[in-house]
Amino acid sequence: MHNELDRPLVGVTCGIRESSFGKWTMDAVILPSTYISAIERAGGIPVLIPPSDFSTSILDKVNAIVIAGGPDIAPSEYGEEPYFASASYYPKQDSSESVLIREALERDMPMLCVCRGMQLLSIIHGGKLHQHLDNTPGFEGHGSYDGQSSEHIVNTIDGSKISSLLGSQIIVNSTHHQGVSDAGSLIVTAHADHDGLIEAVERPDLKFCIGVQWHPERIGKNHDILYSELIKSARS
């Protein structure tokens, strides 16, 4: 059990989408509850950060942040034109989270970036994305998406933070149709075993800055250690 007064505040990004409340339909802040549960299990108190022009001000109040998964990032963020016709983009969320990540990096605030979060972290460091893996030679059929989930093996790099936490080979979930093609100046610390897709990135020069392509909060068990280590760094 964690002392309630000792629980760090963990900011977690979320989206705004049209949702139904009884007979009402309106824009609502949304986030899968698995993030909330993972942060609480790890000993933190989750604080939602919706897209806002003032999102960085929350960094004065929280001790760590989670950049959550979500919709596709607009290709204009990494200098490309969109070619995947069914994609929906949310420029305000892209902009708000980009500013938030940059400020958190400047402050060396502990940060875990999940799925879309890892992709945005890579873009901020000069990286690029595969817009649609099913149309990318070598990565067709990488995993399930569009409401489905599959599993595959990931190999981590010896000496990396992710390897020290989870081991040299792990099984992860796959719920994405995009992926990092170039991580920019980030250190790549894990690849998919079957096709080599980038699955984890790090900034070893910072206190705690890890991005993973999978969703550890949906796996639980030993993957909870990513959230536990985030909280540990927030306390230090």
Give domain 4-235's CATH architecture.
Answer: 3-Layer(aba) Sandwich (3.40)
**Comparing 145 with 226, which gets the higher pLDDT?**
226
pLDDT of 181-196, one tens digit each? Answer: 999 999 999 999 999 9
Q: Could you give the dihedral angle defined by the CA atoms of residues 207, 213, 215 and 216, in that order, rounded to the nearest 10 degrees?
A: -40
SS (H, E, C) the chain: CCCHHHCCEEEEECEEEEEEECCEEEEEEECCHHHHHHHHHCCCEEEEECCCCCHHHHHHCCCEEEECCCCCCCHHHHCCCCCCCCCCCCHHHHHHHHHHHHHHHHHCCCEEEECHHHHHHHHHCCCEEECCHHHCCCCCCCCCCCCCCEEEEEEECCCCHHHHHHCCEEEEEECCCCEEEECCCCEEEEEECCCCCEEEEECCCCCCEEEECCCHHHHCHHHHHHHHHHHHHHHC
Half-sphere exposure of 227 (CA within 13 A, CB side): 33
Catalytic residue among 142, 215, 223, 229: 215
Q: Is the pTM of this model over 0.85?
A: yes
Span 198-222, mean pLDDT? 95
User: What confidence category does residue 236 fall into, taking pLDDT thresholds of 50, 70 and 90?
Assistant: confident
Looking at residue 4, its pLDDT comes to 67
Q: Tell me, yes or no, if 202 is annotated catalytic.
A: no
- The highest-confidence range among 63-77, 140-154, 215-229, by mean pLDDT, is 63-77
Q: Tell me, yes or no, if 2 is annotated catalytic.
A: no
Span 17-35, mean pLDDT? 89
Buried (b) or exposed (e) across 131-150, using 16+ Cβ within 10 A? bbbeebeebeebbbbeeeee
pLDDT of 50-97, one tens digit each? Answer: 999 888 899 999 999 999 999 999 999 999 998 876 678 999 999 999
- pLDDT of 35 higher than 90: yes
Task: State percent of the chain over pLDDT 90.
Answer: 74
- pLDDT of 180 higher than 90: yes
Looking at residue 84, its pLDDT comes to 72
Q: Tell me, yes or no, if 14 is annotated catalytic.
A: no
Looking at residue 47, its pLDDT comes to 97
- pLDDT of 1 higher than 60: no
Mean pLDDT of the chain: 93
Query: Rounded to an integer, what distance in angstroms lies between the CA atom of residue 114 and that of residue 121?
Result: 10
Catalytic residue among 191, 217, 223, 229: 217
Catalytic residue among 14, 113, 115, 209: 115
For 209, the token pair is 């800055």
pLDDT of 120-129, one tens digit each? Answer: 999 999 999 9
